[in-house]
Amino acid sequence: MNRTETQRDARHVRRAGHIAAALVLAQAVGMRPAWAQETPARPVTIQPAPAAPAAAGTQAPQPAIRWEKTFPQIGSGKWTGHRLPDGQPDIQGDWSNSIANHDNFTDPQGGTPGDPVRRKRPLGPRAERAPSRVSYPADGQVPFQPWARAKQQELAAGFWNATRQEYVEPLARCYPAGIPKSFTWHGFEIRQFPHYIVFLFNSGTRIVHLDGKQHLPANIKLWNGDSRGHWEGNTLVVDVENNNSKARFGRTAEFASENVHVQERYIFDNAGRRFNYEATFTDSTVYTQPWTATIPMRRYVAGDPQDGWHYEVPLANHPGKELIADHVERPCIENNGPFGQVAIPKK
Amino acid sequence: MRKRWSLRLERPATMVAASLLLASVLLAGTAAAADRIPRLNGKPDFSGIWQTTSAADYDLEPHSTRKDAPPSAGIVVGSVIPYLPAALEQKKKNFAARDTSDPRLKCWTLGTPRGIYYPEPFQILQRPEDLTVVFEFGHSVRTIHNNGTLHPTEKNQYWLGDSRGHWDGDTLVVDVTDFEDETWLDRAGNYHSEDLHVVERWKLLDANTIDYRAAIEDPNVFSHSWEIEVILYRHREQDFQLIENYCFTLDNDKYYPLPAAQ
């Protein structure tokens, strides 16, 4: 019954073929929201992607993915953009982080230490790459307690040679990437509803409750935690408890414990093209002080080029000329036969 | 004497009048219930958290009690699933091996329509252009596209199928194709091939009740189309919410997370 990897790849090829065909057909520009009518801001500096395999264990060649080295700050303030009928700022659609994948949490464009695949060119000075995702404290490092730093380094060292089950990065088993790693694993979609904001990741789905109800009982622990949010102008503020902390922050194995409390701020620019994700992690059992992660995001819209990573959304099949993004099942949402089958040692 | 007589005379008339009154109230009540269904842009709004109380997932067909299933008259219209002869043999094999072979035991995505009548809640989040269906079991997500788009031109294989909906009055009709063949329809081993084709009809009977029907066809497995019908109830408990159930992670639970402090 189990489908082979070849069959799975063939399925992706079929989907890719459909995407290509749709792109050829998609010349006409129909009705588009304001933020889609102008050319989106491009990264200041463009460089080839660090190794960003779509799936651990598969060797399919990856298209070049564009990453920026710097990104604009976005201030919290009023929302002057489009609103939904329930009054929420309209932030629906497709997004992806603009600097790097999950290879390395604190040196996002530096690749994963110990990667057996030789780099095509030397890494160069640290200052030439995007800053650490740890925006506070200023040294760009997660302020681990000594035991936790030692554990993180042990796990990171074990990543390329998983001699123990706990060295297998949970996402390699196609388990949910959790917070904040989901934001650095392929593009994602935001859907909004009265009382809810839903994030559809390639590695799980997250529902943010906006209706003010209390968190779940503390002994319930979840891969994506339990999220309660509200809007403050252009900023979505989300309080996350009940985190099972099984997910890691990157291939460099930074982590939290089940006691972690995360306060997220999603700060949207009023043009609707970008947002910055800022999350403060507080966990006195793992860290010496609270610290903040910052991950910049940019929007993608129907008709944007498919790049196999940030934006993989095909155009819908329909008789009209309007470009409609078609949101199909996401590879890791289903998790039936995860790619982890090949990432995990057979023994 | 006269009073009693009077009562005897008047009683039938009173009862008729009361009956008429009651009937009109009931009729008005029924009409009001249909009128009071929640709506979004004028169409029925299915937003909410729903669950069946039926035993459908144990076995879609009628069955007596057994160790692993409560008795049930089933939800198959006409009671019997019209298997082709060879497929019926496969179904019997599946049934015999159900304790180990049911994909749900691996927490695999349940498929369509099984996710709908599986005994765990699912949430519908509705926009005018689509319905997002999030299943607690496996936290899998199905999008019912309701924006006039068609199935993709090339065949795909999705666990939950490719769903395209349209309105037939107040009924949401959803055409579902492009399936995997790795899901079952229930715990009794009823199954399908990649050529499964499901046409769902979703209708709100009142604000808190959905009448869910699905026509199922698969030329590789069934001799002709057949139907199921099941009622779904809204969860009305205060602050009820889905609790993500990524049960496929449980086999390796012991390796994660790390101890909080050492």
* Residue A146, φ and ψ in degrees, nearest 5: -55, -45
| Angstrom distance (rounded) from CA B199 to CA B162 | 11
* Position A229 confidence tier, pLDDT thresholds 50, 70, 90: very high
Q: Is the peptide bond before B12 cis (omega within 30 degrees of 0)?
A: no
Token couple for A251: 């291939």
Query: If residue A9 lies in a helix (H) or strand (E), which one and from where to where?
Result: helix A5-25
Closest-approach residue (CA) in chain B for A260: B260
CB contact under 8 A, A317 and B132: no
Q: Residue B24: its pLDDT value, please?
A: 52
Whether the per-residue pLDDT at B68 is higher than 90: the answer is yes
Average per-residue pLDDT in chain A?
A: 81
CA-to-CA dists, residue A227 to A203, A240, A307, angstroms: 17, 5, 31
Token couple for A91: 């932030």
Sequence-ordered list of residues with C-beta below 8 angstroms from that of B92, at least 6 positions apart, any chain: B189
| Angstrom distance (rounded) from CA A76 to CA A56 | 37
Q: Residue A332: its pLDDT value, please?
A: 64
Sequence-ordered list of residues with C-beta below 8 angstroms from that of A259, at least 6 positions apart, any chain: A283, A284, A285, A286, B260
| Angstrom distance (rounded) from CA A247 to CA A181 | 8
Question: What mean pLDDT comes out for the span B54-72?
Answer: 97
Instruction: With H, G, I as helix, E, B as strand and everything else as coil, classify residue B44.
Output: strand
CB-based contact A183:A295 (threshold 8 Å): yes
Whether the per-residue pLDDT at A262 is higher than 60: the answer is yes
Q: Which fold has domain B39-252?
A: Lipocalin (2.40.128)
Strands (E), chain A: 93-97, 134-136, 188-193, 196-201, 204-209, 226-232, 235-241, 261-268, 274-282, 291-300
Tell me the nearest-neighbour CA distance from A266 into chain B, angstroms: 22
Question: What mean pLDDT comes out for the span B128-147?
Answer: 96
Q: B160: exposed, middle or buried (C-beta count within 10 Å: 0-12, 13-18, 19+)?
A: buried
Sequence-ordered list of residues with C-beta below 8 angstroms from that of A68, at least 6 positions apart, any chain: A43, A44, A45, A46, A98, A99, A130, A296
CB contact under 8 A, A176 and B261: no
B interface test, pick of A282, A329, A330, A333 with most B CB neighbours within 10 Å: A329
CB contact under 8 A, A326 and B151: no
CA-to-CA dists, residue A175 to B11, B234, B235, angstroms: 72, 30, 28
Q: Residue A117: its pLDDT value, please?
A: 83
Whether the per-residue pLDDT at B42 is higher than 90: the answer is yes
B interface test, pick of A226, A333, A341, A344 with most B CB neighbours within 10 Å: A333
Whether the per-residue pLDDT at B31 is higher than 90: the answer is no
pLDDT single digits (tens) A147-201 = 999 999 999 999 988 899 899 889 888 899 999 999 999 999 999 999 999 999 9
In order, the DSSP letters of B114-145 are: HHHHSSS-EEEEEETTEEEEEESBTT-EEEEE
CB contact under 8 A, B156 and A204: no
Q: Which of A22-31, A67-76, A229-238 has the lowest mean pLDDT?
A: A22-31
* Position A21 confidence tier, pLDDT thresholds 50, 70, 90: very low
CB contact under 8 A, B154 and A324: no
Closest-approach residue (CA) in chain A for B136: A205
Whether the per-residue pLDDT at B253 is higher than 90: the answer is no
Question: What mean pLDDT comes out for the span A17-36?
Answer: 34
Closest-approach residue (CA) in chain B for A173: B249
Sequence-ordered list of residues with C-beta below 8 angstroms from that of B181, at least 6 positions apart, any chain: B192, B193, B194, B196
Q: Number of A:B CB contacts under 8 A?
A: 165
Question: What mean pLDDT comes out for the span A225-247?
Answer: 97
| Angstrom distance (rounded) from CA A133 to CA A252 | 12
End-to-end CA distance of chain A: 21
Domain boundaries, chain B: 1-36, 39-252
Q: What is the pTM of this model?
A: 0.84
CB contact under 8 A, A318 and B252: no
Residue type, A72: P
Q: Residue A208: its pLDDT value, please?
A: 98
Q: Residue A41: its pLDDT value, please?
A: 35
Q: B157: exposed, middle or buried (C-beta count within 10 Å: 0-12, 13-18, 19+)?
A: buried
Q: Residue A60: its pLDDT value, please?
A: 38
Percentage of chain B lying above the pLDDT 90 cut: 80
CB contact under 8 A, A176 and B246: yes
Q: Is the peptide bond before B113 cis (omega within 30 degrees of 0)?
A: yes
| Angstrom distance (rounded) from CA B97 to CA B238 | 40
Quick one: residue B3, left, alpha or beta (phi over 0 = left, psi -120 to 50 = alpha)? alpha
Sequence-ordered list of residues with C-beta below 8 angstroms from that of A196, at least 6 positions apart, any chain: A207, A208, A209, A210, B125
CA-to-CA dists, residue B11 to A10, A266, A333, B1, B15, angstroms: 79, 72, 67, 15, 6
CB-based contact A5:A342 (threshold 8 Å): yes
- The shortest CB-CB distance from B257 to any of A257, A324, A333 is to A257
Highest mean pLDDT among A3-12, A34-43, B34-43, B92-101: B92-101
Other beta carbons within 10 angstroms of residue B212's beta carbon come to 19
Q: Residue A347: its pLDDT value, please?
A: 36
| Angstrom distance (rounded) from CA B36 to CA A319 | 35
Percentage of chain A lying above the pLDDT 90 cut: 67
Tell me the nearest-neighbour CA distance from B188 into chain A, angstroms: 18
Question: What mean pLDDT comes out for the span B14-27?
Answer: 51
Which residues of chain B make contact with A195, given a CB cutoff of 8 A?
none
Question: What mean pLDDT comes out for the span A316-332?
Answer: 91
Which residues sit opposite A193 in a β-bridge?
A196
Of residues A273, A227, A272, A279, the one with CA closest to residue A249: A279
- The shortest CB-CB distance from B256 to any of A148, A216, A246 is to A246
* Residue recorded with tokens 């947002």: A275
- The shortest CB-CB distance from B244 to any of A173, A224, A336 is to A224
- The shortest CB-CB distance from B156 to any of A14, A223, A244 is to A14
Tell me the nearest-neighbour CA distance from B69 into chain A, angstroms: 25
| Angstrom distance (rounded) from CA B44 to CA B34 | 10
B interface test, pick of A12, A189, A201, A205 with most B CB neighbours within 10 Å: A205
Q: Residue A54: its pLDDT value, please?
A: 37
Of residues B162, B114, B163, the one with CA closest to residue B137: B114
Percentage of chain A lying above the pLDDT 70 cut: 76
Report which of residues B120 and A62 the model is more confident about. Answer: B120
Tell me the nearest-neighbour CA distance from A219 into chain B, angstroms: 13
Token couple for B187: 């715990």
pLDDT single digits (tens) A97-130 = 999 999 999 999 999 998 888 888 888 999 999 9
| Angstrom distance (rounded) from CA A178 to CA A244 | 9
Question: What mean pLDDT comes out for the span A3-21?
Answer: 34
Closest-approach residue (CA) in chain A for B132: A191
- The shortest CB-CB distance from B160 to any of A286, A316, A329 is to A329
Instruction: With H, G, I as helix, E, B as strand and everything else as coil, classify residue B202.
Output: strand
Of residues A310, A271, A308, A313, the one with CA closest to residue A26: A313
CB-based contact B259:A144 (threshold 8 Å): no
- Half-sphere CA count of A109, side-chain side, radius 13 A: 25
Q: Which of A7-16, A22-31, B179-188 has the lowest mean pLDDT?
A: A22-31
Whether the complex's predicted ipTM surpasses the cut of 0.90: no
- Longest Cα–Cα distance in chain B: 96
Instruction: With H, G, I as helix, E, B as strand and everything else as coil, classify residue A251.
Output: coil
Q: Which of A248-262, A320-334, B120-134 has the lowest mean pLDDT?
A: A320-334
